[in-house]
């Protein structure tokens, strides 16, 4: 039989988990429709019960202590259980319910396909929730069912369901070529041409880092690959794009011998990856990746 104290500890654990994700008690209070005093009360009771300090507050927000990180591993299992309950009602209908797919902006365009209409027509009771952000959500607690990212999973509960390699190169538009000409060498590019940068590309490869370190004219920066491609298309400057995206109506500067390869990881949670609706969506995304990057050898 559980006790009232058990429920209080559970609430304290969940509030602690929420604060650990947002780093701000104020944000948590606003999202949960409660008050900072209530959050403090439950976390303080949990700290008193465990005789351990879990939060340190300073000018940068609420900092999780090493002791809290250990206890948060327990709260991950609790949150995951709640998320699994959301899926429970859908399992009666094999291909019905919602599948939450998350990816970063740089990969978002690859998840759209001409085959999407036929897919949705064939499975009318399936609903897709697409989340696009600069970072993928926490899959260990089932904040998403499927993720697509350039980085492999860091949690042992998240498994790789497929990988693809995507090549990146330098691209320009015909409008840019008509206005400024095209670079004859990497030295010419860095000294005389206009470059457009997407945030994260410098960290993505040494080649990109060296290029933008030496470039004299970086005229446009954005955190969106789609915006980057748009400004390149309008002749603003030269930029780095993945081949499938860059090859559409842009000029690939092959003569510069510049490029690098990144792996794409398709991931799911080990406990839910074989649910029919999730397996169906994984197969669909695998097909789209095959269309864009070729069959896996």
**pLDDT (tens digit per residue) in 94-148:** 788 899 999 988 788 777 777 888 888 888 888 999 998 878 888 888 899 999 9
Retrieve residue 114's tokens: 């001409």
Rounded to the nearest 5°, which phi and psi values hold at 166? Answer: -120, 130
Distance (Å, rounded) from C-alpha 260 to C-alpha 167?
A: 6
Query: Which among 207, 208, 189 is positioned nearest to 198, based on CA atoms?
Result: 208
| C-alpha count within 13 angstroms, C-beta hemisphere, residue 286 | 14
Percent of the chain with pLDDT over 70: 93
Most confident region among 49-53, 65-69, 169-173, 258-262 by mean pLDDT: 169-173
Residue 231: predicted pLDDT: 95
Q: What is the pLDDT of residues 161-175, one digit of tens each?
A: 999 998 999 999 999
The rounded Cα 206 to chain-centroid distance in angstroms is: 22
Q: Write the CATH number for 130.
A: 3.40.190.10
| CA distances in angstroms from 207 to 16, 17, 273, 275, listed in the order given | 42, 39, 36, 41
> Residues 221, 172: one domain?
yes
Q: Say if residue 92's pLDDT is above 60.
A: no
> Residues 97, 214: one domain?
no
Residue 86: predicted pLDDT: 67
Q: Say if residue 50's pLDDT is above 50.
A: yes
**H or E segment to which residue 103 belongs:** strand 97-104
Residue 290: predicted pLDDT: 86
> Residues 92, 139: one domain?
yes
> Residues 278, 139: one domain?
yes
> Residues 71, 203: one domain?
no
The domain in which residue 59 lies consists of 4-80
Q: How many domains does the chain have?
A: 3
Domain limit, last residue, from 54, 80, 106: 80
Q: What is the pTM of this model?
A: 0.69
> Residues 55, 201: one domain?
no
260-269/158-172 β-pairing: antiparallel
Distance (Å, rounded) from C-alpha 42 to C-alpha 49?
A: 11
């Amino acid at each position: 039989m559980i006790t009232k104290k058990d429920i209080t500890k559970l609430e304290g654990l969940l509030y602690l988990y929420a604060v650990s994700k947002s780093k701000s008690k104020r944000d948590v209070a606003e999202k949960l429709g409660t008050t900072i005093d209530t959050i403090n009360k439950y976390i303080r009771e949990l700290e008193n019960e465990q005789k351990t300090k879990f939060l340190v507050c300073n000018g940068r927000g609420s900092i999780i202590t090493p002791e809290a990180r250990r206890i948060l591993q327990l709260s991950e299992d609790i949150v995951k259980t709640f998320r699994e309950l959301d899926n429970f009602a859908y399992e009666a209908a094999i291909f019905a319910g919602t599948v939450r797919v998350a990816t970063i902006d740089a990969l978002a365009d690859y998840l759209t396909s001409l085959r999407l209409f036929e897919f949705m027509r064939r499975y009318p009771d399936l609903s897709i929730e697409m989340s696009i952000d600069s970072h993928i959500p926490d899959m260990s607690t089932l904040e998403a069912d499927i993720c697509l990212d350039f980085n492999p999973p860091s949690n042992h509960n998240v498994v790789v369901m497929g990988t693809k390699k995507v090549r990146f190169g330098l691209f320009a538009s015909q409008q840019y070529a008509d206005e400024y000409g095209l670079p004859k060498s990497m030295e010419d590019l860095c000294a005389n041409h206009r470059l457009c940068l997407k945030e994260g590309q410098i960290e993505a490869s040494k080649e990109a880092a060296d290029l933008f370190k030496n470039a004299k004219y970086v005229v446009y920066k954005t955190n969106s690959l789609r915006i980057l491609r748009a400004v390149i298309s309008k002749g603003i400057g030269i930029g780095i794009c993945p081949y499938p995206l860059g090859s559409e109506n842009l000029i690939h500067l092959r003569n510069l011998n510049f490029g690098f390869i990144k792996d794409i990881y398709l991931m799911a949670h080990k406990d839910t990856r074989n649910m029919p609706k999730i397996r169906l969506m994984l197969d669909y995304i695998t097909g789209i990746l095959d269309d864009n990057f070729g069959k896996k050898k």
